[in-house]
Structure 1
């Protein structure tokens, strides 16, 4: 059981007045120029001097616009599905506020830790953090945790565009409520009339993740009591459904985000076809489907046309029971209503589907911008295994369980002469510049894992269930899917590639929260000699000094992997 824990009980606690999150500029209209004027319905591929065809790995706008937000992380009793429990949240809501801006804008987010006995950090999931590794927000990797009463300001430029999310990267805090959406406006690969924004899909427990960690680490993963759509659902006689309205004949963009700790969701709207236009932060050649499988941490942007008879229709997020359990498997639903009709309980039926914990077909996930993969300069093959140590599960990569130190982050150690790194820090050093690295993760266990890489999009070279990787295994090097989370299949392997184009320290890990805490992770130290020139070491060490003082004064003991 974690020593750093939530307050127990359901007594409401009074907090100081919260500052509502708000952008520094209220103008979120797309950038315009004579070169190419964006219009989502008639010119979705345009974006001023840039467009859908721009290679954003090599060039991106710099608008000079600052989008500034204020976050306060607090303990608060909430009841997202009608059942009260103690939560951790940003500005008192679950999800936290969506941050929003344009491609090329700079985000400045001030984070104050007002919790009573937790550190925190905020990770901007999928954001490459080009030349800004220290802004990645990973406790024990790029920073020390922000101590209670302390604050930290994150600053980064959006060199990508699309839909993603932020979440705490301290222990299991994200899944007690510390998460929210991110929208970066930019061009799109298909037209639409209106943007409905983030649709956050979450599993939900009526006990805290800290209370459940011992169970998750010594037996079967705990069964979630519920799932939420944008922080809402019903349970027994309580709670309420997420609702949204369509106008007949219009088309709508929905930005799907799986924020769960241990659930792959299959998403769909009864009777409506989805046109998928992006996977993670990568625009793709559009394809149509009835439902889409969204793995933990993944995002899909879909367009839905309101082309059915006016009425009420179920929006469904269905946990895939091949790899998870949930008390409300078929009752995690929202309501789509047409033309401002009265909201009523729909009577529509779900699309037929096969329960599966596999990604969408790679043949469907064709990036709009075609890029090929070069020959590998570095290749690492890692076997995933599971061990039991002292009665608790420990995940291993090549027989090594990941362990880092909250009080001595890797980024600081890299910049400290004579620092000693341990085998358990699972470091891969990448010192070449702009060469290709291949990583292969292989597992002969009957469980699929969503693998997430920080600091990069990666190219999915192969994703094979029931197979063993070898030198003869075929790899797709011709415009393969690019994303930042992909499923490692059960009894199989995942092969990915990326270029060494982003100096810094980057985490790679399974995005099942239990598994991350149990040691399923590694880290990359990329282009070590350049890291010092892009890092504010004084600021990093100031956060660490405050954390270490708090940790020592309160006898805080780290009992998980550190990430």
Structure 2
């Protein structure tokens, strides 16, 4: 499923129930937070690459429900009705909720008036429980939280569920849902003053000392290079001249190059034909031909300007949720400013483990993962417009083992059939290749 299709709301959770690091009474299932647009994703993508500032959403929805200020007299699509997602609590019970950011652009700051909650899982990794009253949730990040229904009814028995952009408290109305202790009371909750709504909290992931995995893992010595030339830097390029700061088209980069994938020739197809296949630079490959069990480290920086431009290109201010396919990774370090390998000490003893990390605004993240899953694995920014514009790369892991595993699984005939179907479609609709391709191919 392409990013533009996903951004147009084809989304639904798969709820896998596993052990929890804390007891609870009721499992309320997933709670999906998403930004909402009134224009189709393909049009928004072309707006973004020409700007290069991302188009802003009009509202936030919670489990598919939300409110937008419109006038039925001037807009036939405006029904005059409005709904917010509501949850009814029973005093004294503990409720488990799975928070998922299914949005396209915004990293959300989440909180509930009058309640603390306990975080017990991050990206499907059970952690030692910790209590908080606010949580930053990047796109594609998942948290399981447990809320105890123990509020005091100073302003009544209804409470707002809030979610707003972490870097701009006033961009959208944060009141996205309601918790009620009396299902028959349909009054809106009391709205606390701005000073009680975690102003200026920022966009950082929870502190690593709070995200401690229950199942411990020690990080081994790295086997790959890690000089400054190996750092992965989030940046922008003009097109067709990458150093043209006045370019009419802007593309994102993670390896000093924008990633393009030919949809007719997926990486895995080439690797099943030739384990030693070398890919074009535009596919942004990083080869990980190491022994099973060895560790690789990567630094990702979010403070980069294009150094070979006459006038350095300034990167639009943004937190970037970085997602890796095929693996969990551990977070060795995460911080503000320029990464300094002398001053930054990696956490090698049971560090935070997840598969989506927020690379801070003007900062860095240092990750590692273990070689144990042969394949071609994408790593990309989960902002839809950035991924579509090439802010991604692929790890080619143990290429010599891929064909044998595909044959063992009996998957090669289906791979061939699907590629033929896609090639026919691709040629029929005449999809442009390169910078104007509607999607990077991931």
| Counterpart for residue 208 of structure 2 | 362
1:178 aligns with 2:35: no
Equivalent residue for 1:447, pick from 311, 318, 322: 318
1:145-184 correspondence to structure 2 within 5 Å: 170-184=2-16
Residues 458-500 of structure 1: CA deviation (Å, up to 9, x unaligned):
0000112112333553111111100001111222221101100
| Counterpart for residue 159 of structure 2 | 313
| Counterpart for residue 244 of structure 2 | none
The alpha-carbon deviation at position 309 of structure 1 amounts to: 4.2
More moved, 400-409 vs 444-453: 444-453
Equivalent residue for 1:224, pick from 57, 65, 77: 57
Higher helix share: 2
C-alpha separation in 1, matches of 2:55 and 2:429: 30
Equivalent residue for 1:199, pick from 31, 38, 61: 31
SS at match of 2:44: helix
The alpha-carbon deviation at position 419 of structure 1 amounts to: 5.0
1:352 aligns with 2:197: yes
The alpha-carbon deviation at position 249 of structure 1 amounts to: 0.7
The alpha-carbon deviation at position 397 of structure 1 amounts to: 2.8
C-alpha separation in 1, matches of 2:44 and 2:429: 23
SS at match of 2:396: strand
Q: Does the 8 A contact of 2:139 with 2:321 survive in 1?
A: yes
The alpha-carbon deviation at position 557 of structure 1 amounts to: 3.0
C-alpha separation in 1, matches of 2:302 and 2:92: 47
Q: Does the 8 A contact of 1:264 with 1:320 survive in 2?
A: yes
Q: Does the 8 A contact of 2:59 with 2:173 survive in 1?
A: no
C-alpha separation in 2, matches of 1:297 and 1:515: 14
Residues 332, 537 of structure 1: alpha-carbon distance in 2 compared, 3 angstrom cutoff: farther
C-alpha separation in 1, matches of 2:203 and 2:44: 23
C-alpha separation in 1, matches of 2:232 and 2:329: 17
1:91-490 correspondence to structure 2 within 5 Å: 121=1, 170-219=2-51, 220-236=53-69, 237-309=80-152, 311-322=157-168, 326=171, 329-349=172-192, 351-353=196-198, 354-379=200-225, 380-389=230-239, 390-417=247-274, 421-432=279-290, 433-445=292-304, 446-470=317-341, 473-490=344-361
Q: How many residues align?
A: 392
C-alpha separation in 2, matches of 1:441 and 1:217: 22
Residues 283, 265 of structure 1: alpha-carbon distance in 2 compared, 3 angstrom cutoff: same
Residues 436, 420 of structure 1: alpha-carbon distance in 2 compared, 3 angstrom cutoff: closer
The alpha-carbon deviation at position 175 of structure 1 amounts to: 0.8
| Counterpart for residue 428 of structure 2 | 553
C-alpha RMSD of the superposition: 1.8
State TM-score, norm by structure 1.
0.67
The alpha-carbon deviation at position 383 of structure 1 amounts to: 2.4
Residues 325, 337 of structure 1: alpha-carbon distance in 2 compared, 3 angstrom cutoff: closer
The alpha-carbon deviation at position 211 of structure 1 amounts to: 1.4
C-alpha separation in 1, matches of 2:126 and 2:277: 41
C-alpha separation in 1, matches of 2:362 and 2:116: 32
Unaligned runs of 5+ in 2: 70-79, 240-246, 305-316
| Counterpart for residue 76 of structure 2 | none
C-alpha separation in 2, matches of 1:447 and 1:334: 26
The alpha-carbon deviation at position 533 of structure 1 amounts to: 2.3
State TM-score, norm by structure 2.
0.85
C-alpha separation in 2, matches of 1:338 and 1:423: 58
Higher strand share: 1
Residues 171, 283 of structure 1: alpha-carbon distance in 2 compared, 3 angstrom cutoff: closer
C-alpha separation in 2, matches of 1:436 and 1:557: 39
C-alpha separation in 1, matches of 2:147 and 2:343: 42
Q: Does the 8 A contact of 1:223 with 1:325 survive in 2?
A: no
The alpha-carbon deviation at position 360 of structure 1 amounts to: 1.3
Q: Does the 8 A contact of 1:226 with 1:332 survive in 2?
A: no
C-alpha separation in 1, matches of 2:102 and 2:158: 26
Residues 443, 340 of structure 1: alpha-carbon distance in 2 compared, 3 angstrom cutoff: closer
Q: Does the 8 A contact of 1:200 with 1:230 survive in 2?
A: yes
The alpha-carbon deviation at position 527 of structure 1 amounts to: 1.3
Residues 394-435 of structure 1: CA deviation (Å, up to 9, x unaligned):
122332111111111111011123855101111111122210
The alpha-carbon deviation at position 221 of structure 1 amounts to: 1.5
C-alpha separation in 1, matches of 2:175 and 2:121: 24
1:496 aligns with 2:367: yes
Residues 331, 463 of structure 1: alpha-carbon distance in 2 compared, 3 angstrom cutoff: closer
SS at match of 2:145: strand
